Amino acid sequence: MLDSVAAAAAPPVPDRSAAAGLARRLAARTATVAVVGLGHVGLPLALAAAKAGFRTVGLDSDPARLARLSAGDSPLRHVPAEALERALRDGSFRPGGEDDLSRADAVLICVPTPLGPDRRPDLSCVEAAAAQAARRLRPGQLVVLESTTWPGTTRERLLPLLESTGLRCGRDVFLAYSPEREDPGNAEFGTADIPKLVAGADAASLRVALMLYGAVVRRAVPVADLETAEAAKLAENVFRAVNIALANELKLAFGAMGIDPWAVTEAAATKPFGYMPFWPGPGPGGHCIPVDPHYLAWRARERGVETRLLDLACAINDEMPRHVLRRLGEALAARGRRGLAGRRVLVLGVGYKRNLADARESPGLRLMEMLEAAGAEAAYFDPLVPELPRLPEHPALAGRRGVPALSAGALRGFDAALIAADHDGVDYAALVSAVPLVVDTRNVCARLGLSGPNVVTA
């Protein structure tokens, strides 16, 4: 339900305006919503809009993904096939194509915003999706960008593109920014449960966007302007990046003192105020933490401001895979086996975090590449990722298949294993008993009570 604060955020629109017509369709749930990009953000959002009563159509640049969705096969582990099949059955959701954009009342853009080779923001997917929407733009439509980006993107990049059609924002069409807040695999907070920031390019755009999201999520939160909403999303992820870097730096410092950094964090987390636990690891992954800080840093540099703390945090997090390899090398040397060249190493977990199949910016994949660059033979095991996807940051690994199981036969001959992601349901005891050296970057062995001279943390 839309909060009273949100409902009062903008003045009433004239009865015969394009905004009023859109508002009536949104209020009656007769509006059609098109979601462009059916990945970890777009697909849950599309199904949430369908569940709220809107006719919803999904667009994606990957024909194979659209075919899977049409068959009721969810490509995402955290999106149950049952929810997809139900929406397909009752007609509230269907995969579609560009022609559907002209019939949509709201077009929600949920496409990737990666980094280019020089770590500059790459908005090519956003611009392509916005151009697609502009080609089919008609009066009475709302366009919303959900992708994380630098402050100013919506106003400076999308607004001119939409108005190049001759339609005027706030009068004929409406533009908003509402950053995604998905946490794949989090059973406590689904799409509809997470408060949604909403900003409009003008008062009319804000009002209709609040009506849409107020129907889809429990709480739609109005934000003063587009740039503030864009900056708020970056602030959320930069907060995590900096604190993960702090946890990783403390891991190095406490480790050098012979102190268990995970035990320190658990002890500190008992304080009910002034502390929030962040856990060390082999380096952050996914589409947020390794990427979004660079969007903010790039924009800040354009304005003549250096983000020194942020830059240092990124450098610390980037260093973590190298620390893991150094720890592996030291542990091998302590066992009389110097150097990584010629060693067979199993990387366990290429999803970037626990119980997730998403391998984007995965520290596990970085470790595989670095092992092979050092002359080692790298293999991987991940029950959620039987075959490595094609990722722009890891082109040489595409199509490689993982070890099928942690059986004694499959583990025979490995010199070491690196635990990069601590998925549930994995037989860690079999790993510890069969491999002469296990380097645990997630402390999962200690949590399970598995110890021995062959288990070290990193």
Which has the closest alpha carbon to 121: 91, 165, 153?
A: 153
Structural domain total, the chain? 2
Token duo for residue 382: 């991940």
The answer to whether residues 275 and 152 belong to one domain is no
Number of alpha helices (DSSP H) and beta strands (DSSP E) in the chain: 17, 13
In a domain, 261, yes or no: no
The answer to whether residues 276 and 165 belong to one domain is no
Neighbours of 102 (CB within 10 A): 14
The answer to whether residues 62 and 207 belong to one domain is yes
Q: Residue 342 is part of a domain; what is its CATH number?
A: 3.40.50.720
The answer to whether residues 200 and 274 belong to one domain is no
Rounded CA-CA distance 248/316 in Å is 7
HSE (CB half, 13 Å, CA atoms) of 392?
8
The answer to whether residues 200 and 275 belong to one domain is no
Token duo for residue 141: 């439509």
Rounded CA-CA distance 242/367 in Å is 22
The answer to whether residues 273 and 173 belong to one domain is no
Token duo for residue 296: 């903010």
Q: Which of 110, 125, 169, 288 is catalytic?
A: 288
In a domain, 237, yes or no: no
Which has the closest alpha carbon to 361: 450, 288, 279, 255?
A: 288
Rounded CA-CA distance 454/435 in Å is 8
Q: CB under 8 Å, gap of 24 or more: what pairs does 151-155 form?
A: 151/227, 151/228, 151/230, 151/231, 151/234, 151/299, 152/226, 152/227, 152/230, 152/299, 153/123, 153/126, 153/230, 154/201, 154/226, 154/230, 155/201, 155/226, 155/227
The answer to whether residues 115 and 184 belong to one domain is yes
In a domain, 8, yes or no: yes
In a domain, 370, yes or no: yes
The answer to whether residues 154 and 25 belong to one domain is yes
Rounded CA-CA distance 364/380 in Å is 9
Positions in the chain whose pLDDT score sits under 50:
1-9, 11, 13-14
Which has the closest alpha carbon to 442: 433, 424, 434, 452?
A: 424
The answer to whether residues 214 and 274 belong to one domain is no
The answer to whether residues 57 and 193 belong to one domain is yes
Predicted local distance difference test score (pLDDT) of residue 5: 40
Query: Please, are residues 359 and 351 in contact by the beta-carbon 8 Å criterion?
Result: yes
Tell me the three-class secondary structure of 44-61, residue by residue: HHHHHHHHCCCEEEEECC
Give the single-character DSSP code of 387. B
In a domain, 296, yes or no: no
Predicted local distance difference test score (pLDDT) of residue 15: 53
In a domain, 247, yes or no: no
Query: Please, are residues 9 and 210 in contact by the beta-carbon 8 Å criterion?
Result: yes
Instruction: Map residue 175 onto helix, strand or coil.
Output: strand
Give the single-character DSSP code of 156. I
Alpha helix stretches (DSSP H) within 269-341: 292-302, 308-334
- Report how far apart, in Å, the C-alpha atoms of 66 and of each of 57, 71, 160, 199, 217 are: 11, 9, 30, 30, 25
The residue to which tokens 């908005």 are assigned = 123
Rounded to 10 deg, the angle between the 308-334 and 363-373 helix axes is 50
Rounded CA-CA distance 321/247 in Å is 15
Rounded CA-CA distance 286/71 in Å is 27
pTM across the whole model: 0.92
| Full domain range(s) for residue 337 | 268-285+319-457
Predicted local distance difference test score (pLDDT) of residue 8: 41
Predicted local distance difference test score (pLDDT) of residue 27: 97
Instruction: Map residue 273 onto helix, strand or coil.
Output: coil
Predicted local distance difference test score (pLDDT) of residue 14: 44
Instruction: Establish whether 445 is a catalytic residue.
Output: no
With a CB cutoff of 8 Å and minimum separation 6, the contacts of 410 are: 403, 404
Which one of 226, 242, 257 terminates a domain?
226
